[in-house]
Chains A and B, each alone.
Chain A
Amino acid sequence: MSPAVPSWPGVAASAALVVLTVVVARRGRLGLTRDITVAALRAALQLTAVGAVLLLVFRHTGLAGALGWLALMVLVAGRMAARRTGALPGTFRTATAAIAVGTTASMGVLLVLGIIATQPRVVIPVGGMVVAGAMGATDLALIRLYDEVRTARPAIEARLSLGLAAGDAFAPHRCVIVRTALLPVLDSARTLGVIALPGAMTGLILAGVDPLTAIRYQIVVTYMLLAAACLAAVVAVRLSERALFDDAHRLRPLPGRRPSS
């Protein structure tokens, strides 16, 4: 019988799928042969490198190493989220802070309450999901914020003209932005298990854990993603607001156009 997790020869054999893709691409004259080959090799090399580093961290560094790894991921995620919405001032700092707050709070609760183990082999993958969730929400919040400020400037200035403080004048827009940022997490929580088996659960089932145990993990993952996304979105909007308004409760002019993703 074949193993639940592929062996190295098995992985090598799976390259047949890449060959199949290349053949199809050539037949269809898609001009993608090079791209497909590079992407496939790159995926293998990147994952091997990450696997090796993770092995080192798991074996030798303990919780401190795991947290260091997470901090690095937060920085990378901050950069990614900021790159998509660079037109707003100070986005890298804003995005990084938002993701850091979302991640710290979620992971903090999981670790302090002893819900998950403090071993790197648990903290790193779970933390990775949290960072990715926080990043997605931050990303959406910043994109929506930019559009909102562009289109709603007259409404914001109308509220300011009535003597409302910047925070109050922006409040309805803040709600819209945070709601938008949370939609994907809420949607996926709603359809969980119905449309697709979520990643964490799939992984556990593949590794031989029985479904009723696997869902325990998935429930925790869902809750922690909700918290991380919500906190990250709120922090991203709040911090951006400081850059959007000046001391005289005036909406600053927005720089140029949003760079496309």
Chain B
Amino acid sequence: MTFPTGTPAFTLEQVVVRRGGSVLLDGVSCRIPGAACTTVLGPSGAGKSTLLRLLNRLEEPTRGTVSYRGGPLPGWDVLALRRQVTLVAQQPVLLTGTVRDELRAGRRHLSGARLAELLERVRLPAGYLGHATADLSGGEAQRVCLARALAVEPRVLLLDEPTAALDATVTAAVERLVRELADDGVTLVLVSHDTGQARRLSDLVLVLEDGRLVEQGPAGRIGRLREGA
């Protein structure tokens, strides 16, 4: 399950993504470590979501290569890849009628105990299993989507602004979960606007601006994180 420490989970080489007339990512090269937490920071429209979507092949680079565990992505069976590298989108999208069905969207057979455990991990009461997804608040929906992704037991979890819709208490809980997962050997890549969160959580920070990677390094060495400190 876990990566030997120090081995990159992903390697990006000179990745360019062009859509229509615009350049979304412009020559991005970096390594994303396995069994660690990496945060992608940057202003709105910088290309953070695009970078995340490249990693599970929802997006294809126009030029350059993305590799996972040493092999270029197109060489992987894409369905197997997505079961290992699961994305939780920026906007929570619920797919079914009840929370129970929602958790089973990616993996049909889950025991009652497993369902309860998944809800507990995202700090939702077990009684929520029978709830209608239409009645969930934005923050609850976000956490159900996270639990739904955890259900497929991914090696890599891509989280696009996982705490944007959450209050301080639940944010702290989700941050604890992220750290727990990273310590368990899951590779996390998360997108954030929040420099404080990046500092608290990440082993590595990537800073995107206007499609370019302008800074990368451990949280402590990122200039704009120190400024904010």
Chain A residues whose CB sits within 8 angstroms of the CB of B145 once the complex forms: 158
Q: Are B79 and A250 in contact (CB under 8 A)?
A: no
For residue B105, CB closer than 8 A to chain A, the reply is yes
Say yes or no: A157-B58 contact (C-beta < 8 A), given A162-B105, A162-B149, A163-B106. yes
Chain B residues whose CB sits within 8 angstroms of the CB of A93 once the complex forms: none
For residue B121, CB closer than 8 A to chain A, the reply is no
Q: Are A154 and B82 in contact (CB under 8 A)?
A: no
Contact of A249 among B59, B74, B79, B106 (CB under 8 A): B79
Q: Are B91 and A154 in contact (CB under 8 A)?
A: yes
Interface on A for B, CB 8 Å cutoff? 154-155, 157-165, 172, 248-250, 253
Cα–Cα, bound, A215→B79 (Å): 53
B 94-134 binary contact with A (CB < 8 Å = 1; else 0): 01000000000111000000000000000000000000000
Cα–Cα, bound, A176→B83 (Å): 27
Q: Are A249 and B56 in contact (CB under 8 A)?
A: no
**Further 20 A-B residue pairs, CB within 8 A, beyond A154-B93, A155-B93:** A154-B91, A157-B58, A157-B89, A158-B95, A158-B105, A158-B145, A160-B82, A161-B56, A161-B58, A161-B82, A161-B88, A161-B149, A162-B86, A162-B105, A162-B149, A162-B152, A164-B79, A164-B106, A248-B78, A250-B59
Chain B residues whose CB sits within 8 angstroms of the CB of A155 once the complex forms: 93, 95
Chain A residues whose CB sits within 8 angstroms of the CB of B60 once the complex forms: 248, 250
Query: Which 8 pairs from chain A and chain B are nearest by CB?
Result: A162-B106, A163-B83, A163-B82, A161-B87, A154-B93, A158-B93, A248-B78, A155-B93
Contact of A253 among B19, B93, B107, B149 (CB under 8 A): B19
Closest-CB distance, A38 to chain B (whole angstroms):
43
Interface size class of B (residues with CB under 8 A): 20 to 34
Q: Are B95 and A165 in contact (CB under 8 A)?
A: no
Closest-CB distance, B122 to chain A (whole angstroms):
16
Say yes or no: A163-B57 contact (C-beta < 8 A), given A154-B91, A158-B89, A158-B95. no
Cα–Cα, bound, A165→B104 (Å): 16
B 52-74 binary contact with A (CB < 8 Å = 1; else 0): 00001111100000000000001
Q: Are B78 and A249 in contact (CB under 8 A)?
A: yes
Closest-CB distance, A179 to chain B (whole angstroms):
17
For residue B155, CB closer than 8 A to chain A, the reply is no
Say yes or no: A154-B79 contact (C-beta < 8 A), given A164-B106, A250-B58. no
Cα–Cα, bound, A160→B106 (Å): 9
For residue B148, CB closer than 8 A to chain A, the reply is yes
Chain B residues whose CB sits within 8 angstroms of the CB of A253 once the complex forms: 19
Cα–Cα, bound, A162→B105 (Å): 8
Q: Considering the complex, which residues of chain B in the window 19-75 have a beta carbon less than 8 Å from any beta carbon of chain A?
A: 19, 56-60, 74
Closest-CB distance, A256 to chain B (whole angstroms):
11
Best-surrounded residue of A157, A162, A253 (most CB of chain B within 10 A)? A162
Q: Are A165 and B79 in contact (CB under 8 A)?
A: yes
Which of chain B's residues has its CB closest to A248's CB? B78
Cα–Cα, bound, A161→B49 (Å): 14
Closest-CB distance, A246 to chain B (whole angstroms):
8
Chain B residues whose CB sits within 8 angstroms of the CB of A158 once the complex forms: 89, 93, 95, 105, 145
Best-surrounded residue of B93, B106, B149, B152 (most CB of chain A within 10 A)? B93
Which of chain A's residues has its CB closest to B145's CB? A158
Q: Are A250 and B148 in contact (CB under 8 A)?
A: no
